[in-house]
A and B are shown apart, each in its own frame.
Chain A
Amino acid sequence: MTLDVLAVVLMLFLLVTAWGVLRLRDLFSAAMLLGMFSLVSAALFTIFDAVDVAFTEASVGAGISTILMLATLGLTTERETSCPAWRPVPLLAVLVTGGLLIYGTLDMPSFGDPQSPVHTYLGARYLEEEPKEIGVPNVVTAVLASYRGYDTLGEATVVFAAAIGVLLLLSDRREERDRSSARALKDHLARDDARHAPAMKNRILRVSARPMIPSILLFGLYVQFHGDYGPGGGFQAGVIMAAGVVLFALVFGLERTRRTFSANLLEAMIALGVLLYGSVGVWSMLAGGNFLDYDVLLHDPKHGQHLGIVLVELGVGITVTAVMIALFLLFAARGLDDAKGDLHLENGAS
């Protein structure tokens, strides 16, 4: 009963936040409100006992995507361009689509209905057979990494492909290959850090960030390798570790972060994660099973399942960490482009 009231209140919060996002013309505030929206939905998911989803929503939706949105806004503009107030055709399209979507929900089973297909067919089978077949305490991880391992491979590949697209669009590898230009960019970044990273000079931020960054990374590893036993897994762990690195970049400057996470290293890590995932599948084929059938990896099917789940989650974690760090560094370094353009002009003139 209490939980029902709480859920209704949180849903109202969701409505209010969504309305606020729509009404605000200040994009920074809208981005922050979107983060709040994600946090409230994470609380809702927790009430509905979907802690894994809540974890993902809190770390991805409220955490890293807010950071990435703010970084993007730093490149573009803070204000939304106003559009004409009354445009009937888009409104009609939205109303028709929304109406159809709501009409579609009428056929869905009501919430918590024990007769719904999810609860009668596959879900029940997973819950009953999982301890015998796989034996990891967190059934969600078992479903994600083993039963639906093929889907998760697809998700990891989508993250990989998206990162490749962004790297192609934003990365300036060709310029970096040009030595002098690379050195100029590096000097520029160092100077820019000294000038634009006031956090670097701010002792309070430095002192309090220093013990936090290793703890965040440690927590990321815990989430990564504890995913079989509690909520967690590669996606959440990757985002948490990337958040630690982003905090480092914000406080100690881009140049020092780029020295540790060079573009080469990040690109290698992005590919390595997906490669590790796919290799586990090939390994299981070589061992005589189907693609991503972990039963055959070791002498005992359960041990094989454990090993396979740990390995594919590790692959997902590596890819997600590298992608998030790479995206943040690309966006943040992009903000210095105007000044860099000046540098190129100077180089060309001399």
Chain B
Amino acid sequence: MTELLELVGGVLLGAGAVVVVFGGVLILRMPTFYSRVHAASVNETLAPLLILLGLACFADGRFDVLVRLGLILMFLLLTSPMSSHALAKAAYRGGLPTGQYREQQRREREGRGHSEPSEEPDA
């Protein structure tokens, strides 16, 4: 039973680590600001979920450890999407244009940098 639990825990931890790496790569590789925020928010919700569930498998059923892990998970699931939302919303209100990647490329080619504050957000 414990061996099975440890196996499951190990798989979950490994999956969490893979998600973190993918998230990190995507934050660097994604073309626009909003898609990067999206990548980061996946990284902030799925990865802790997997990692904390994996850690719970190693807790040996100790109640205090499980409660603590659960509290940490609840806190992260509540705050991370909130911070991603606040970040994207602030960028949108600050006038960072949304829209497709190619459109943004065209904009940049035309010399209208996408951080220009006076620009009204479209959509």
Question: Which residue of chain B has its CB nearest to the CB of A250?
Answer: B86
Chain A residues with CB under 8 Å of B107's CB are none
Q: Quick one: which of A312-332 are within 8 Å of B by CB?
A: none
CB <8 Å contact, A208 and B93: no
Q: Mark B57-99, 1 if CB is under 8 A from A, else 0.
A: 0000000000000000001001101100110010001000000
In the complex, A168 has a CB within 8 A of chain B: no
CB <8 Å contact, A202 and B89: yes
CB <8 Å contact, B85 and A204: yes
Tally chain B residues at the interface, Cβ within 8 Å.
9
B: residues with CB less than 8 A from A are 75, 78-79, 81-82, 85-86, 89, 93
Chain A residues with CB under 8 Å of B82's CB are 204-205, 208-209
In the complex, A199 has a CB within 8 A of chain B: yes
Chain B residues with CB under 8 Å of A212's CB are 75, 78-79
Max count, chain A CB within 10 A of own CB: residue among B82, B85, B89, B93: B82
CB <8 Å contact, A211 and B85: no
Q: Determine how close the nearest CB of chain B comes to the CB of A221; give it in whole angstroms.
A: 15
Chain B residues with CB under 8 Å of A209's CB are 82
CB <8 Å contact, B78 and A208: yes
Chain A residues with CB under 8 Å of B81's CB are 208
CB <8 Å contact, B78 and A211: yes
Take A208-B78, A211-B78, A212-B79 as given contacts and tell me if A198 and B85 are in contact as well, using a CB distance cutoff of 8 Å: no
B86 contact from A199, A211, A215, Cβ within 8 A = A199
Majority secondary structure of chain A interface residues (helix, strand, loop or mixed): helix
Chain B residues with CB under 8 Å of A202's CB are 86, 89
Tally chain A residues at the interface, Cβ within 8 Å.
10
Q: Determine how close the nearest CB of chain B comes to the CB of A199; give it in whole angstroms.
A: 7
CB <8 Å contact, A198 and B93: yes
Bound: A202/B79 CA distance, A: 15
Q: Determine how close the nearest CB of chain B comes to the CB of A64; give it in whole angstroms.
A: 16
Q: Quick one: which of A211-235 are within 8 Å of B by CB?
A: 211-212, 215
Question: Which residue of chain A has its CB nearest to the CB of B81?
Answer: A208
Bound: A204/B90 CA distance, A: 13
Q: Determine how close the nearest CB of chain A comes to the CB of B101; give it in whole angstroms.
A: 24
Question: Which residue of chain B has its CB nearest to the CB of A215?
Answer: B75
Q: Mark A195-206, 1 if CB is under 8 A from B, else 0.
A: 000110010110
Q: Determine how close the nearest CB of chain A comes to the CB of B103; give it in whole angstroms.
A: 26
Q: Determine how close the nearest CB of chain B comes to the CB of A29; give it in whole angstroms.
A: 13
Question: Which residue of chain A has its CB nearest to the CB of B74?
Answer: A215
Question: Which residue of chain A has its CB nearest to the CB of B79?
Answer: A212
Chain A residues with CB under 8 Å of B79's CB are 208, 212
Q: Determine how close the nearest CB of chain A comes to the CB of B87; give it in whole angstroms.
A: 11
Bound: A212/B76 CA distance, A: 11
CB <8 Å contact, B86 and A205: yes
Chain A residues with CB under 8 Å of B85's CB are 204-205
User: What would 13 more interface pairs be, CB under 8 Å, given A205-B86, A212-B79, A215-B75?
Assistant: A198-B89, A199-B86, A202-B86, A202-B89, A204-B82, A205-B82, A205-B85, A208-B78, A208-B81, A208-B82, A211-B78, A212-B75, A212-B78
Q: Determine how close the nearest CB of chain A comes to the CB of B38; give it in whole angstroms.
A: 16
Q: Determine how close the nearest CB of chain B comes to the CB of A70; give it in whole angstroms.
A: 13
Chain B residues with CB under 8 Å of A208's CB are 78-79, 81-82
Q: Quick one: which of A76-108 are within 8 Å of B by CB?
A: none
Max count, chain B CB within 10 A of own CB: residue among A198, A199, A208: A208
Bound: A208/B83 CA distance, A: 10
| Sample of 8 A–B contacts (CB below 8 Å) | A198-B93, A199-B86, A204-B85, A205-B82, A205-B85, A205-B86, A208-B81, A215-B75
Bound: A251/B76 CA distance, A: 18
Q: Quick one: which of A148-176 are within 8 Å of B by CB?
A: none
Question: Which residue of chain B has its CB nearest to the CB of A204?
Answer: B85
Q: Determine how close the nearest CB of chain A comes to the CB of B43; give it in whole angstroms.
A: 15
Bound: A259/B74 CA distance, A: 31
Bound: A208/B81 CA distance, A: 10
Question: Which residue of chain A has its CB nearest to the CB of B89?
Answer: A202
Q: Determine how close the nearest CB of chain A comes to the CB of B95; give it in whole angstroms.
A: 13
Q: Determine how close the nearest CB of chain B comes to the CB of A55; give it in whole angstroms.
A: 15
Bound: A208/B76 CA distance, A: 12
Question: Which residue of chain B has its CB nearest to the CB of A202?
Answer: B89
Q: Determine how close the nearest CB of chain A comes to the CB of B114; give it in whole angstroms.
A: 16
Question: Which residue of chain B has its CB nearest to the CB of A209?
Answer: B82
Q: Determine how close the nearest CB of chain B comes to the CB of A62; give it in whole angstroms.
A: 14
